[in-house]
Amino acid sequence: MSSSWNHTIHQLAAMIAARETNVERIVDSALQAITTHNPSLRAFTRVEEHAARRDARTADREIATGGHRGPLHGIPISIKDLIDISGVPTTAASRTSSSIPAKEDATVVSRLRAAGAIIIGKCNLHECAFGTTGESSSFGPTLHPLDQKRSPGGSSSGSAVSVVTGMAVASIGTDTGGSIRIPAAACGLVGLKPTFGEIPMRGVQPLAFSLDHVGPLTRCVTDARLVLHALRGPESPQEIRNTSTIAQRLGCPRPYFFEQLDDDVRTVIEQALNQLSDTGWQVRDTSIQHVHDAPAVCLPLILSEAAAIHDQRLTECPERYTEEVRLRLELGRYVRGVDYARAQRGRAVLARAVDDALADHDALVLPALAIAAPRLGTSEVYLNDEHVSLRALTLRMTQLFNATGHPAISIPCGHTPQGLPCGLQLVGARGRTDHLLDVAEACEQRLEPLLESTRDD
């Protein structure tokens, strides 16, 4: 095997089991990709070459002596640099962060290690995860591998780029308003935000306590399921795949989610919906009551919670933040208590509305990102004869489900005429992430011909 570029976790696991490759070769391939791509793309803040090679040798010895731990054993996985790795500082891509190494692994990292994964390094991000492009970072902006004048999306920018370029086979990101699903959509990957509270956040620097999620970015839905299972820990039930309960009914909430959409992205999304309809799925128009209030509900929640978390640093060393993130955090200090309380009520109202829209549907289906990968240095986008804030536009499809806690996944569904990937978002019922993955896997299979036909090779 010469490269892990296009291989999935389950393919590599099968190759390891069949002795067609070994872990040292897989890790070497990832490290070679890092040497080739990272200097220009800035996906990693830190590469754990020595530890990864050491752990690869250990994994090969264990596997050779019958100690194969499962599909993640020997798989190189990158970690967003917002998540603690023992002995390594967690930078959050911010000059405000302490240089003191983390005392222990975050729960998600220790669970990945227990499953045999090789931690290959820590990934660049939008500073403190408070942005959707990955441009504001103390390590410099992460660049899109298909067009270096564009952003790969964020905040888990480096995570997405590490996977799409073969520097890692999967990555762990965080998602407070869309930070896993946005870069997954912009880079043509699968990005999963599980149900709120499903995966422990211990050892993950918070951005907003009530909105933060941790989850995987992978090359396919099967891999997302494998990583999620590891993140749930050894005590969780075995992987459940139950396609018999899929009714093949999707609800498409067109009001709001299809109102501000780039024309090329709209074409790709409509083709994907037609493809699903043509292959036996019912895609029915639906709506989420009060959905136009979603941005007004989400804004006070994220601003005030982020300001609370950063309050001390914002007082002691405000100049060390990038200007953009500092202003956003400062804004959070001005949120009135009454507005936070109203937003909390709105969150409950919207959660019930999403539940209602999901009734009789396996999942809701909508775009994951209203535009293709944005150009670097852009703060506004011209769309439907008006200038729209890039930040508001990138959050438009995703942030509601952080507020409501519903599991959501972005899967690749085609490319714009410029060859830029688009993501289709599926949203499932709370607490039923496994069912959402069943649905996403079935949709992924049906969209595969469309992906091949629109891919610009």
CB–CB of 410/184 below 8 Å? yes
> What residue has token string 């289906």?
365
Q: How far is the CB of 349 from another protein (least distance, A)?
A: 4
Q: Which is nearer to another protein, 87 or 318 (CB)?
A: 318
Q: How far is the CB of 95 from another protein (least distance, A)?
A: 19
**By CB neighbour count within 10 A (0-12 exposed, 13-18 middle, 19+ buried), where does 260 fall?**
middle
The C-alpha atoms of residue 388 and residue 296 are separated, in whole angstroms, by 16
Whether 179 is catalytic: yes
Q: Which is nearer to another protein, 54 or 345 (CB)?
A: 345
The C-alpha atoms of residue 399 and residue 396 are separated, in whole angstroms, by 6
Q: How far is the CB of 327 from another protein (least distance, A)?
A: 6
Q: How far is the CB of 178 from another protein (least distance, A)?
A: 18
Of the listed 155, 156, 162, 304, which one is catalytic?
Answer: 155
CB–CB of 55/40 below 8 Å? no
Q: Where are the alpha helices (DSSP H) in 317-386?
A: 323-332, 337-358
Q: How far is the CB of 379 from another protein (least distance, A)?
A: 11
292 to 289, 298, 353: CA distances (angstroms): 8, 11, 12
Whether 103 is catalytic: no
**Nearest by Cα to 77 from 101, 102, 51:** 51
Of the listed 137, 159, 179, 410, which one is catalytic?
Answer: 179
CB neighbour burial string for 204-226, b if at least 16 within 10 angstroms, e if fewer: bbbbbeebbbbbbbbbbbbbbbb
**Nearest by Cα to 265 from 190, 380, 182:** 182
Q: How far is the CB of 389 from another protein (least distance, A)?
A: 8
Q: Which is nearer to another protein, 126 or 415 (CB)?
A: 126
The set of residues, in sequence order, having a beta carbon less than 8 Å from that of 151 and lying 6+ positions away, is 133, 134, 135, 141, 142, 143, 144, 157, 186, 373, 374, 375, 376
* Encoded tokens for 50: 């020595």
The C-alpha atoms of residue 15 and residue 246 are separated, in whole angstroms, by 31
Q: How far is the CB of 314 from another protein (least distance, A)?
A: 11
> At residue 170, what are phi and psi to the nearest 5 degrees?
-155, 165
Q: How far is the CB of 295 from another protein (least distance, A)?
A: 7
**Nearest by Cα to 107 from 13, 20, 250, 204:** 204
**Nearest by Cα to 355 from 289, 297, 298, 295:** 289
Q: Which is nearer to another protein, 114 or 349 (CB)?
A: 349
Of the listed 78, 80, 156, 162, which one is catalytic?
Answer: 80
Residues that bind another protein (CB under 8 A): 290, 293, 295-297, 299-300, 303, 323, 327-328, 330-331, 334-336, 339, 342-343, 345-346, 349
Residue type, 310: H
CB neighbour burial string for 78-103, b if at least 16 within 10 angstroms, e if fewer: bbbbbbbbeebbbbbbbebbeeeebe
CB–CB of 427/404 below 8 Å? no
CB–CB of 397/372 below 8 Å? no
Residues annotated as catalytic (active site), given as ranges: 80, 155, 179
